[in-house]
């Protein structure tokens, strides 16, 4: 390779003009490219996003309005309102809401416990990393973990049975059904809360607590009148993120649930694989539309709440 030639290859005008002495004066400023030309640099990313984000999303939410033959129909979308499908949405909603609330509360407690530890210390680094792993890497692995723990032959199941004589499955194989999802989802919801909420909690200034004390306040008034009101918008924001996270989660349920499709993502799988669920084609598209609607409503609710509760935020 001839390294010396490299500049000539990378910069168009380097070869044309004689080399300037670095101190011979200000560099010539290239005239700014005008009009459409200057947007040229944005096209690769734009094309990519259109092809792999915009088109799939549009396809996903519109296919529900068409039959296999391309004719327009409302049948699929109306299919969402079938009792069985509605029940699925209900389950998804329940699992998401319960795990979001419990996850948010437990996660916030963990964040509180971490207050006052060094941000770059070993404890925090470890908890941050563990949280990230569990929050973003869970999926199939979580199903394994819980089958090994409280599955029919799980470690805890056996200990409970052998030592305490308690049958964890007296009321049926609940781990592989909706109640199981409630337990397992918490395993990624709590860590997600820790990651997303910790920055907000760290944003509490120590001088607020000091000012509270010098003004005659107690630790109780610090939390009820200052810290909690200040944190409320972030807390609700994190809560909704947790809801959305559980609502769209698929892998854990796919690996855990043994029978049927009790939540919406599993029902989409059923529709995609068989294409004949409930006797309708393109049902997956309708279900996807339903999910998007729920997600958009959640996000919209968040922005409304945000603008109402946080006049004081920048």
Work out whether 272 is an interface residue with another protein (CB under 8 A): yes
Interacting residue with another protein among 78, 86, 87, 109 (CB under 8 A): 109
- Nearer Cβ to another protein (79/285): 285
* Nearer to another protein among residue 308 and residue 311 (C-beta): 311
283-309 vs 83-114: helix crossing angle, rounded to 10:
40
**Residue 166, interface with another protein (CB under 8 A)?**
no
Burial of 128 (0-12, 13-18, 19+ CB in 10 A): middle
Q: In whole angstroms, give the CA distance from residue 248 to residue 13.
A: 52
85 binds another protein (CB under 8 A): no
Asked if 161 touches another protein (CB under 8 A), the answer is no
**DSSP secondary structure, 163-181, as one string:** II---TTTT--GGGSHHHH
Select from 78, 86, 87, 115 the one that contacts another protein (CB under 8 A). Answer: 115
The DSSP string of 146-215 is: HHHHHSTT-HHHHHIIIII---TTTT--GGGSHHHHHHHHHHHHHHHHHHHHHHHHHTS-HHHHHHHHHT
Three-state SS at 24: coil
Tell me the closest approach of the beta carbon of residue 312 to another protein, in angstroms.
4
Q: Which stretch binds another protein (CB under 8 A): 72-80, 81-89, 95-103, 145-153?
A: 145-153
Q: Binding residues for another protein, how many (CB under 8 A)?
A: 112
Should residue 82 be labelled a site residue for another protein when binding is judged by CB under 8 A? Answer: no
Stretch near another protein under the rule CB under 8 A, chosen from 50-58, 68-76, 82-90, 165-173:
50-58
Tokens at 38, concatenated:
């200057």
Give the residues across from 72 on adjacent strands.
Answer: 66
Nearer to another protein, 262 or 265 (CB): 265
Q: What are phi and psi of 285, to 5 degrees?
A: -60, -40
Which stretch of DSSP H or E encloses residue 132?
A: helix 122-137
Under rule CB under 8 A, residue 180 binds another protein: no
Residue 109: Cβ within 10 Å count: 13
> What does residue 72 show for φ and ψ, rounded to 5 degrees?
-70, 140
The reply on whether position 60 binds another protein by CB under 8 A is yes
Q: For another protein, which stretch binds (CB under 8 A), given 67-75, 81-89, 166-174, 247-255? A: 247-255
Instruction: Specify the residue, 110 or 178, whose C-beta has the smaller distance to another protein.
Output: 110
> Which of 132, 182, 236, 260 is in the footprint of another protein by CB under 8 A?
132
Interacting residue with another protein among 37, 220, 259, 308 (CB under 8 A) = 220
With contacts defined by CB under 8 A, name the span among 73-81, 95-103, 133-141, 174-182 that binds another protein. 133-141
């Amino acid at each position: 390779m001839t390294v010396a030639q490299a500049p000539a290859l990378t910069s168009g005008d380097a070869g044309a003009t004689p080399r300037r002495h670095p101190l011979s004066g200000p560099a010539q400023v290239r005239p700014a490219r005008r009009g459409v030309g200057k947007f040229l640099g944005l096209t690769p990313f734009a094309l990519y996003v259109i092809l792999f984000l915009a088109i799939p999303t549009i396809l996903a939410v519109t296919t529900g309005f068409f039959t296999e033959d391309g004719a327009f129909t409302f049948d699929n979308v109306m299919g969402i309102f079938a009792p069985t499908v509605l029940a699925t949405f209900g389950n998804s909603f329940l699992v998401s809401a319960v795990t979001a609330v419990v996850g948010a509360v437990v996660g916030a407690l963990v964040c509180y416990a971490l207050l006052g530890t060094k941000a770059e210390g070993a404890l925090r680094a470890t908890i941050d990393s563990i949280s990230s792993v569990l929050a973003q890497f869970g999926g199939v692995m979580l199903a394994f973990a819980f089958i090994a723990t409280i599955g029919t032959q799980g470690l805890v199941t056996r200990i409970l049975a052998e030592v305490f004589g308690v049958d964890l499955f007296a009321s049926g194989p609940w781990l592989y059904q909706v109640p199981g999802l409630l337990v397992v989802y918490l395993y990624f919801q709590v860590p997600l809360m820790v990651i997303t909420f910790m920055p907000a909690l760290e944003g509490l200034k120590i001088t607020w607590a000091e000012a509270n004390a010098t003004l005659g306040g107690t630790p109780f008034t610090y939390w009820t009148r200052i810290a909690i009101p200040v944190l409320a918008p972030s807390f609700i924001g994190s809560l909704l993120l947790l809801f959305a996270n559980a609502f769209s989660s698929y892998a854990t349920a796919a690996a855990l649930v043994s029978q049927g499709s009790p939540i919406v993502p599993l029902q989409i799988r059923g529709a995609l694989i068989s294409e004949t669920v409930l006797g309708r084609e393109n049902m997956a598209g309708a279900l996807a539309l339903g999910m998007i609607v729920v997600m958009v409503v959640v996000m919209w609710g968040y922005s409304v709440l945000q603008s109402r509760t946080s006049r004081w935020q920048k």
